[in-house]
């Protein structure tokens, strides 16, 4: 399988998602902060919203496009005994405080479905009496890894609540046949460092953006940069962003809509200066060049002008409200074809002012579910309902891990 991503916007061909399951119903008000949710969410509605989002993807993707459910990939992968053995060993080692060594033999005996249930929900009837917390954030597959060119950068999460997801992803990368082609290009950073996929934006086959955030440490960023530069990327732009919950990853304040258009949260992007450093190789050493702003840095390295569209429009209150509900976190299905939460009405109005035709999920699905969608050069912003999903603090980009895009 050809795994390759050279931009944020190239036509989507393959994407990994996770439709929320019972694990989200195991989040209670006492646990929600620890589990990185801002509220408890209603499973059935969240699932329905997510399935609608997938229908949009399928309607917009080419005929041979694939939306891969991560659970299916695990079940396929866990058929292999060595994949299960690797996974259990990593769990026992990296979650040492859970005392999983006491049930290691039982874990190795579980059927693939039971093992998956144990890991995602924190318990399975097959091992009665042993429980851990669930992993409700698996919904945000974006943060598990990043495909950059034909390399696979594995996340090393900053938050313990997301550690199990990273171990699952590493197992897929090492054992699932889909990843055979990138297996020699796996990038893994050191144990003391952190990086999460939401901070990594593939601007082009030469330029990558990495946020230095609540979740991505300076050393994690530097290690990933070193390896990306070795694997053919020419410039990594390190973007310093506020280290806070509301903007835990760069993609919560900045995403691409088209070759030359991005949605930005002004207070943390356009109103910041001197927060970008360009890292490149020269004579075998990494050199850094301080850039006045993200816009100037991107325009300099891409050699084209960019338009920054304001999340929430011109009003301060709306900018903050809509950033909080992921207005700046759109996902591109093709150049100029984006999806985002419908509730961010001011952001959509702003997109419309910039020439985007607005469609809601039903209009888009109705029009293109049966007939092939040809993105051409049109610009469409597709709105979908995500009132439950949004309580997990992530939008369309967070819920997707593209592994193949057209160039
Ligand atoms: N790429 C993203 N912005 N992901 C959002 C992740 C949200 C998740 N609840 C967390 O805090 O980890």
Q: Are 210 and 250 in contact (CB under 8 A)?
A: yes
Write down the pLDDT at residue 1: 80
Ligand 1 pocket check for 215: Cβ under 6 Å = no
Ligand 1 pocket check for 392: Cβ under 6 Å = yes
Task: Determine if residue 80 is left, alpha or beta; phi over 0 gives left, psi from -120 to 50 gives alpha, anything else beta.
Answer: beta
Residue nearest to atom 1 of ligand 1 (CA): 198
Nearest CA-CA partner of 183 in 194, 195, 193, 170: 170
Global pTM value: 0.98
Pocket test for ligand 1, best of 18, 248, 265 (most atoms within 8 A of CB): 248
Nearest CA-CA partner of 17 in 139, 129, 183: 139
Exposed, middle or buried: residue 316 (CB in 10 Å: 0-12, 13-18, 19+)? exposed
| Closest-lying ligand 1 atom to the alpha carbon of residue 38 | 9
Tokens of 137: 């954030």
Ligand 1 pocket check for 23: Cβ under 6 Å = no
Ligand 1 pocket check for 145: Cβ under 6 Å = no
The CATH fold assigned to 12-405 is 3.75.10
Interatomic CA distance for residues 35 and 132, integer angstroms: 12
User: Alpha helices of 281-344 — where are they, by DSSP H?
Assistant: 294-302, 316-324
Nearest CA-CA partner of 95 in 68, 124, 118: 118
Write down the pLDDT at residue 128: 87
Active site residues: 398
Q: What single DSSP character describes residue 96?
A: G
Write down the pLDDT at residue 14: 98
Interatomic CA distance for residues 255 and 332, integer angstroms: 9
Pocket test for ligand 1, best of 144, 245, 246, 249 (most atoms within 8 A of CB): 249
Interatomic CA distance for residues 348 and 173, integer angstroms: 36
Nearest CA-CA partner of 337 in 139, 15, 59, 52: 59
| Closest-lying ligand 1 atom to the alpha carbon of residue 159 | 12
Tens digit of pLDDT for each residue in 19-44?
Answer: 999 999 999 999 999 999 999 999 99
Report the alpha-carbon angle 325-331-336, nearest 5. Answer: 120
Write down the pLDDT at residue 284: 87
Interatomic CA distance for residues 138 and 23, integer angstroms: 9
> Dihedral of the CA atoms 8, 9, 11, 15 (nearest 10)?
40
pLDDT under 70: residue ranges of the chain = none
Q: Which residues contact 7 (CB under 8 A, 6 or more apart)?
A: 202, 203, 204, 205, 256, 259, 405, 407
Q: Are 245 and 34 in contact (CB under 8 A)?
A: no
Interatomic CA distance for residues 210 and 251, integer angstroms: 10
Q: Are 82 and 30 in contact (CB under 8 A)?
A: no
| Closest-lying ligand 1 atom to the alpha carbon of residue 143 | 1
State the CB neighbour count (10 A cutoff) for residue 160. 13
Interatomic CA distance for residues 194 and 294, integer angstroms: 22
Write down the pLDDT at residue 273: 96
Q: Are 43 and 22 in contact (CB under 8 A)?
A: yes
Write down the pLDDT at residue 317: 98
Tokens of 10: 């190239």
| Closest-lying ligand 1 atom to the alpha carbon of residue 161 | 12
Domain boundaries, the chain: 12-405
User: Phi and psi of 349, rounded to 5°?
Assistant: -60, -40
User: Phi and psi of 56, rounded to 5°?
Assistant: -60, -45
Please tell me the distance between residue 190's alpha carbon and the centre of ligand 1 in angstroms. 21
Interatomic CA distance for residues 99 and 79, integer angstroms: 25
Q: Which residue has the tokens 């949009």?
A: 56
């Amino acid at each position: 399988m050809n795994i390759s991503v050279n931009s944020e916007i190239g036509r989507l061909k393959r994407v990994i998602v996770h439709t929320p399951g019972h694990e989200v119903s195991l989040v209670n008000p006492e646990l929600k902060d620890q589990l990185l949710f801002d509220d408890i969410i209603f499973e059935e509605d969240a699932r329905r919203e997510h399935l609608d989002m997938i229908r949009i993807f399928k309607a917009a993707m080419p005929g041979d496009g694939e939306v891969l459910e991560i659970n299916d990939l695990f079940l396929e992968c866990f058929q292999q005994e060595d994949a299960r053995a690797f996974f259990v060993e990593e769990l026992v080692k990296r979650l040492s405080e859970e005392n999983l060594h006491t049930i290691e033999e039982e874990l190795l005996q579980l059927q693939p479905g039971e093992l998956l249930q144990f890991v995602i929900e924190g318990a399975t009837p097959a091992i009665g009496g042993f429980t851990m917390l669930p992993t409700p954030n698996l919904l945000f597959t974006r943060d598990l890894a990043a495909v950059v060119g034909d390399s696979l950068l594995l996340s090393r999460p900053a938050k313990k609540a997301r550690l199990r997801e990273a171990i699952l992803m590493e197992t897929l990368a090492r054992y699932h046949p889909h990843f055979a082609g990138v297996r020699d290009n796996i990038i893994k950073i050191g144990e003391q460092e952190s990086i999460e996929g939401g901070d990594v934006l593939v601007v082009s086959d030469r330029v990558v953006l990495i946020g230095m955030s609540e979740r991505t440490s300076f050393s994690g960023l530097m290690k990933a940069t070193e390896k990306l530069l070795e694997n053919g990327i020419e410039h990594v732009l390190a973007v310093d962003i506020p280290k806070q919950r509301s903007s835990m990853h760069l993609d919560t304040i900045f995403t691409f809509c088209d070759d030359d258009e991005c949605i930005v949260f002004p207070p943390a992007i356009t109103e910041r200066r001197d927060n970008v450093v360009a890292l490149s190789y020269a004579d075998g050493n990494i050199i850094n060049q301080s850039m006045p702003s993200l816009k100037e840095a991107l325009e300099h390295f891409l050699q084209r002008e960019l338009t920054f569209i304001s999340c929430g429009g011109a009003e301060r209150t709306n900018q903050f409200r809509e950033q909080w509900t992921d207005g700046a976190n759109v996902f591109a299905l093709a150049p100029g074809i984006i999806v985002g939460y419908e509730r961010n009405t001011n952001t959509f109005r702003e997109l419309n002012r910039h020439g985007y035709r607005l469609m809601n999920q039903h209009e888009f699905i109705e029009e293109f579910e049966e007939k092939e969608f040809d993105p051409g050069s049109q610009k469409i912003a597709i709105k979908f309902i995500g009132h439950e999903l949004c309580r997990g603090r992530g939008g369309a980009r967070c819920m997707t891990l593209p592994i193949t895009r057209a160039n």
